[in-house]
Chains A and B, each alone.
Chain A
Amino acid sequence: MTPLLSLLLYIFRTVVARWGVYLLMVAGLTLSYAAAIVVTLYVHDELTHDRFMAQADRVYMLTARYGPPDRGLVASDRTPAGMAKWMASDVAEIDQVARIVAIEWPMRSARRQVRERFYWADPNIFKILQLPAVEGDLATALKAPGSVVMTQRMARAYFGRPDAVGLTLTTKDNQPLTVTAILKDLPANTHLDREIFVSGRGSYSMLAVFDLNPDYQWNSAYIYATFKPGADVAAVEGRLQAISRSHWRGPNNLPEGYELIRLTDLHFHPHGDGEQRPRGHVGSILALVVVTAAILALAGINFSGLVLAETQERGDEMAIRKALGARRIDLIWQILREALWVNLVSVVLALAVVERLLPALNGGLDLDLHLWRHPAVFLGVLGATVVLVTVLSGLYPAFAVSRPAANTGTGRLSALRWRGWVVAQIALVVVLLIGSHTMNRQWQYATDDALNFNGDHVVMIRFSDFPNDDADFVAHLRDLKGVESVAESFGSPTMDNVRPAWIRRPGLPLISLTRNSAHPDFFKVFQVPLVAGRHLSGTFSVPEVPPEILINLSAVKALGFATPEAALGQEIVYETDRTTMRSRIVGVLPDLRFATVYEPKGPMIFDNFSKYLTVVNVRISPTDTAGTLARIDALWSRDNGGSMPMQRWFYRDYLLDQYHDLHQQMRVFNLVAGVAIILSTLGLTGLCIFLTRRQARDLAILRALGATFGDIFVQRLTPFFVPLLIANAIAWPAAWLVLRSWLGSFAEHIPLSAVSFLGAAVTSVVFALLTVAAHSALTAGKVSVSASLRHE
């Protein structure tokens, strides 16, 4: 028999003889390895946003802050389209600069007709955003007007095949677009949210419009640039405002400042208006890493305890080996070798679990995690982790058991050790429970309570580009069965088209506000009660200065009115992006929240300026939602002649999309917390086994002296109370510190609640006691008192 086969047989026999404990070991390690793998993939995914592009670290995106001078109010990823041209002419350090403009237009092929989300793009965009191509030459693909580049996925959608170069589709006004290159599908971890790039050289493209009128709109394009080697990008950044001022010929409200963000840093950069995908948060990633490390540590400690229990159980075997001449190092190596095998089996099982779990996880959390994207690196890291966990968790029992006078199972020190073990487990569980509850409360607050309006059952429909059709559609909507109320708005209550305004008062602080335009029924649709005054009396389009406005409570305070009623009938003068306005306050609203809770709420103005209304908000009856939506779709089709695909979404879906990152964090955190709880259950069960074995004789003595099952039960529960108290005493301040820091990343957040802490404490105590009780109940009948007393 070969030594390896002999070893495997020995391990097999050992495992079979004590399958229960080994099952606990493998289950705990598998679970924690699986959690660690998932979190590692997630963290890697977050940290490698946009790095699939070659030389992504050389690419910068231009962003801007708008608002009153020296006090940017709105951070925006979109900047004036003219800046690209001005940067190219005035910044000598520029290597390449290019724009994309995000838009939605109808697109049609024989297979698909939708209102498509795509980019108008400068022809040199792929020299900067070096996306991997599978067909065609990206260097020239967008040079000709009417050329289009798309991903394989989109090519399949439009043409049923990925090799679509040379095929055509049409867009608005039947303009033909010819496919000139095919891109590899974009990964999920990119800031780009569209997969079609249409040449901006066409005369009908928005880029052409902006080239003709560079001052037309101030937040129009995403601008990317690369710089020549050695360029001082920070210095360039400082010159950009002066450059834009020297070229700008339009009305006021130029950006107050510009920032060049390295593409590889963009994902963790603070929120920007018009961001293509929600950003991530470094703090959350760090918290996940810490929790995962804690889970691995917990699994290691559990494993260590079980190995110790097992090796103590095999004390005779160890003694015989010693008697037969085994050196201490031989015994240590033997225990470590067995630990390594258990870890290897666990990690293989964990890989299988993750492989099965990933599709559901990717689908549920809108992720694109892959196990084997970088197999060599992945296996290397995993192997190193396995070795580390094996050594760290196996070394202590190995040294303890192989000590010349091994006495690991008794005495005060041992008791301290297992109590420390319980404290560590429960403290982590309590922190995670408090964290999980707080995250869920913050989620609830962000998506519901903080809004101060009711966005449920509201469908938002983007207008077509045909105002007459839209007017007919809205008029007909009001009479449609299942529709309760209808109101148009200029993006509200989303963050699209946020417009700043400000009020200067000599010697007083400047007041920043955001402007919103909506139909008077907007507040009926979103069920917003007036605090004071009346609603807007109607809509107007000419002249541009709104005669009457509503303000919110924050504005009442900022403007210095003692009460909402005091603000009624007052006129205010404010500067906007185009001109100075004077309007009369006719009503006061509560503080509505259109931005996410990452941003502070502030003073708002609502006017009824109808010129640029972009969406219609429709409150539908909660009953027969599907039927009402079908009727709305049919109405749209009828009023638009069937040529313009409809774009509609529930406000609630928009909101969830805004909190995509928070949602991901919450789900992953809940998952990790669940894993930690299961792990702790396994750990405590292992501990019970350990203690049952260690205390078997003591418990048998008590039984012989007349103790009932109830007495024994209490006897076994009692030692857990103090560790549970200590665990909570450690966990509460730790959770308080961590969560206070986490909540601090939100401009508005819930207060930390005593319910979270008490709930976690009660849950942890109940869970620990149930685990111990369950084990006691399961094992009590199986313990032979006479055997325990005789064999000791």
Chain B
Amino acid sequence: MPLISLSDIHHTYSGTAQAVPALRGVSIDIDPGEFVAIIGPSGSGKSTLLNIIGTLEKPSQGRYLFDNRDVTTIPERDLARLRATRIGFVFQNFNLIDHLTVYQNIELGLRYRRDHLRGRRELVMEAMDRVGMGHRADHLPRQLSGGQQQRCAIARAIVGQPAIVLADEPTGNLDSRNAAQTLGILKELNDKGTTLIIVTHALSQADQASRTIEMHDGRIHLSSRRLS
């Protein structure tokens, strides 16, 4: 059974004077443990698709099943719960909160689970260690390099042990060494069973995915699986 199942998803941005269609009938199934890379030119709809998968946006039309549950009809409160427990996000610009330390930023990934996790500190420390940031717990984001900030963001995404991690151009703001390191961490996560979906412009990164989805003009142009 797929973890993610999208059927005929359409999405239109209507905030401006003229409605802009971003997705035009996207259908896709993603199984647990898959590593999917979404590629395509700017404006092709790949970030929109990622946001819909992450429930940050609701599709204008179509059906979206997450773990066999229709998330297009459930209330915002339940979506928030879903994001808190099952989904982790990594963004191109890191999106760390400036006035919180590395430890506090990572702990945020647990705050909204509401399950009073025992050993919260241990989970945070473990996540920090996994990304090699254990020695930077008390630093503020502005005291870190770009690569360190992104590793911190990854730790925040994985601290709650989500079923899926969504990464929107996670290496876009990093130099090649840090980009490789970041991708390595994400790949390692995937190897341990976490479903990983990344949006990227770098074909070299897409090549490492088990499946590549190429988007054009709001539609899936090509979906190809890598032969193992």
What is the interface of chain A, defined by CB distance below 8 A to chain B? 410, 697-698, 700-709, 711, 784-786, 789-790, 792
| Among A705, A711, A785, A792: residue with most chain B CB under 10 A | A705
At the interface, yes or no: B91 with Cβ under 8 Å from chain A?
Answer: yes
Chain A residues with Cβ under 8 A from B82's Cβ?
706
> Is there an interface contact between A792 and B95, defined as CB atoms closer than 8 Å?
yes
> Which residue on B lies nearest to A781, using beta carbons?
B76
Nearest 5 A/B pairs, CB to CB: A706-B84, A706-B112, A706-B83, A786-B51, A708-B80
Chain B residues with Cβ under 8 A from A706's Cβ?
80-85, 112-113
A785-B80 Cα distance, complex, nearest whole Å: 12
> Is there an interface contact between B95 and A708, defined as CB atoms closer than 8 Å?
no
Chain A residues with Cβ under 8 A from B27's Cβ?
none
> Is there an interface contact between B84 and A705, defined as CB atoms closer than 8 Å?
yes
Chain A residues with Cβ under 8 A from B97's Cβ?
698, 701
> Is there an interface contact between A701 and B108, defined as CB atoms closer than 8 Å?
yes
At the interface, yes or no: B111 with Cβ under 8 Å from chain A?
Answer: yes
CB contact under 8 A between A786 and B56, given known A703-B80, A704-B83, A705-B83: yes
**Beyond known contacts A785-B56, A789-B95: 16 more, CB 8 A cutoff:** A697-B95, A698-B97, A701-B96, A701-B108, A702-B112, A703-B56, A705-B83, A705-B108, A705-B111, A705-B112, A706-B82, A706-B84, A708-B81, A709-B76, A784-B57, A785-B57
Chain B residues with Cβ under 8 A from A410's Cβ?
98
| Among B51, B56, B113: residue with most chain A CB under 10 A | B56
Interface residues on B, range: 20 to 34
> Is there an interface contact between A707 and B47, defined as CB atoms closer than 8 Å?
no
A703-B95 Cα distance, complex, nearest whole Å: 12
A701-B56 Cα distance, complex, nearest whole Å: 11
> Is there an interface contact between B56 and A705, defined as CB atoms closer than 8 Å?
no
29 CB-based A-B contacts, threshold 8 Å = A698-B97, A700-B95, A701-B97, A703-B80, A703-B83, A704-B89, A704-B95, A705-B83, A705-B84, A705-B108, A706-B82, A706-B83, A706-B84, A706-B85, A706-B112, A706-B113, A707-B80, A707-B112, A709-B76, A709-B77, A784-B57, A786-B51, A786-B56, A786-B57, A789-B93, A789-B95, A790-B47, A790-B168, A792-B93
> Is there an interface contact between A705 and B47, defined as CB atoms closer than 8 Å?
no
Chain B residues with Cβ under 8 A from A705's Cβ?
83-84, 89, 108-109, 111-112, 156
One digit per residue, 1 when the CB lies within 8 angstroms of any chain A CB and 0 when it does not, for chain B 66-80 equals 000000000011001
Taking the closest CB of chain A, its distance from the CB of B89, in whole angstroms, is 5
> Is there an interface contact between A708 and B47, defined as CB atoms closer than 8 Å?
no
Taking the closest CB of chain A, its distance from the CB of B45, in whole angstroms, is 12
At the interface, yes or no: B54 with Cβ under 8 Å from chain A?
Answer: yes
Partner of B112, one of A697, A711, A785, A786: A711
A359-B220 Cα distance, complex, nearest whole Å: 71
Taking the closest CB of chain B, its distance from the CB of A784, in whole angstroms, is 8
Taking the closest CB of chain A, its distance from the CB of B170, in whole angstroms, is 13
A790-B173 Cα distance, complex, nearest whole Å: 13
CB contact under 8 A between A708 and B91, given known A701-B108, A702-B108, A785-B56: no
Chain A residues with Cβ under 8 A from B48's Cβ?
786
A445-B114 Cα distance, complex, nearest whole Å: 55
What is the interface of chain B, defined by CB distance below 8 A to chain A? 15, 47-48, 51, 54, 56-57, 76-77, 80-85, 89, 91, 93, 95-98, 108-109, 111-113, 156, 168
A785-B111 Cα distance, complex, nearest whole Å: 18
> Which residue on B lies nearest to A707, using beta carbons?
B112
| Among B15, B82, B83: residue with most chain A CB under 10 A | B83
Chain A residues with Cβ under 8 A from B109's Cβ?
705
Taking the closest CB of chain A, its distance from the CB of B227, in whole angstroms, is 34
Taking the closest CB of chain A, its distance from the CB of B50, in whole angstroms, is 9
A380-B218 Cα distance, complex, nearest whole Å: 63
Chain B residues with Cβ under 8 A from A709's Cβ?
76-77, 80
Chain B residues with Cβ under 8 A from A702's Cβ?
108, 112
Taking the closest CB of chain A, its distance from the CB of B148, in whole angstroms, is 18
CB contact under 8 A between A708 and B77, given known A701-B97, A702-B112: yes
Taking the closest CB of chain B, its distance from the CB of A45, in whole angstroms, is 52
> Which residue on B lies nearest to A782, using beta carbons?
B15
CB contact under 8 A between A701 and B95, given known A708-B80, A786-B47: yes
Chain A residues with Cβ under 8 A from B156's Cβ?
705
Taking the closest CB of chain A, its distance from the CB of B112, in whole angstroms, is 4
> Which residue on A lies nearest to B93, using beta carbons?
A792
A708-B15 Cα distance, complex, nearest whole Å: 23
Chain B residues with Cβ under 8 A from A785's Cβ?
56-57
Chain A residues with Cβ under 8 A from B85's Cβ?
706
Taking the closest CB of chain A, its distance from the CB of B16, in whole angstroms, is 12
> Which residue on A lies nearest to B15, using beta carbons?
A784
A704-B96 Cα distance, complex, nearest whole Å: 12
Taking the closest CB of chain A, its distance from the CB of B56, in whole angstroms, is 5
A785-B89 Cα distance, complex, nearest whole Å: 12
Taking the closest CB of chain B, its distance from the CB of A139, in whole angstroms, is 78
A499-B146 Cα distance, complex, nearest whole Å: 91
Chain B residues with Cβ under 8 A from A707's Cβ?
80, 84, 111-112
> Is there an interface contact between A704 and B56, defined as CB atoms closer than 8 Å?
yes
A219-B96 Cα distance, complex, nearest whole Å: 84
A706-B98 Cα distance, complex, nearest whole Å: 19
A700-B93 Cα distance, complex, nearest whole Å: 13
> Is there an interface contact between A708 and B56, defined as CB atoms closer than 8 Å?
no
Taking the closest CB of chain B, its distance from the CB of A72, in whole angstroms, is 69
A701-B76 Cα distance, complex, nearest whole Å: 16
A704-B55 Cα distance, complex, nearest whole Å: 9
Taking the closest CB of chain A, its distance from the CB of B104, in whole angstroms, is 12
> Is there an interface contact between B76 and A704, defined as CB atoms closer than 8 Å?
no
A701-B98 Cα distance, complex, nearest whole Å: 11
Taking the closest CB of chain A, its distance from the CB of B118, in whole angstroms, is 19
Taking the closest CB of chain A, its distance from the CB of B84, in whole angstroms, is 2
A342-B116 Cα distance, complex, nearest whole Å: 52
Chain A residues with Cβ under 8 A from B54's Cβ?
704
Chain A residues with Cβ under 8 A from B91's Cβ?
789-790
Chain A residues with Cβ under 8 A from B93's Cβ?
789, 792
> Which residue on A lies nearest to B109, using beta carbons?
A705
A708-B156 Cα distance, complex, nearest whole Å: 18
A340-B81 Cα distance, complex, nearest whole Å: 49
Chain A residues with Cβ under 8 A from B76's Cβ?
708-709
A704-B168 Cα distance, complex, nearest whole Å: 13
> Which residue on A lies nearest to B51, using beta carbons?
A786
A786-B83 Cα distance, complex, nearest whole Å: 14
A705-B93 Cα distance, complex, nearest whole Å: 16
Chain A residues with Cβ under 8 A from B108's Cβ?
701-702, 705
Chain B residues with Cβ under 8 A from A790's Cβ?
47, 91, 168
> Which residue on B lies nearest to A709, using beta carbons?
B76
Taking the closest CB of chain A, its distance from the CB of B72, in whole angstroms, is 16
Taking the closest CB of chain A, its distance from the CB of B209, in whole angstroms, is 22
> Which residue on A lies nearest to B162, using beta carbons?
A706
Taking the closest CB of chain A, its distance from the CB of B165, in whole angstroms, is 12
Chain B residues with Cβ under 8 A from A784's Cβ?
15, 57
| Among A697, A704, A711: residue with most chain B CB under 10 A | A704
A701-B95 Cα distance, complex, nearest whole Å: 7
A697-B56 Cα distance, complex, nearest whole Å: 13
| Among A700, A707, A708, A784: residue with most chain B CB under 10 A | A708
A706-B115 Cα distance, complex, nearest whole Å: 13
A292-B93 Cα distance, complex, nearest whole Å: 48
Chain B residues with Cβ under 8 A from A789's Cβ?
56, 91, 93, 95
Chain B residues with Cβ under 8 A from A792's Cβ?
93, 95
| Among B48, B76, B81: residue with most chain A CB under 10 A | B76
Taking the closest CB of chain A, its distance from the CB of B103, in whole angstroms, is 15
Chain A residues with Cβ under 8 A from B57's Cβ?
784-786
| Among B81, B96, B108: residue with most chain A CB under 10 A | B108
Chain A residues with Cβ under 8 A from B112's Cβ?
702, 705-708, 711
A268-B127 Cα distance, complex, nearest whole Å: 76
A709-B112 Cα distance, complex, nearest whole Å: 11
Chain A residues with Cβ under 8 A from B84's Cβ?
705-707
Chain B residues with Cβ under 8 A from A704's Cβ?
54, 56, 83, 89, 95
Taking the closest CB of chain A, its distance from the CB of B224, in whole angstroms, is 27
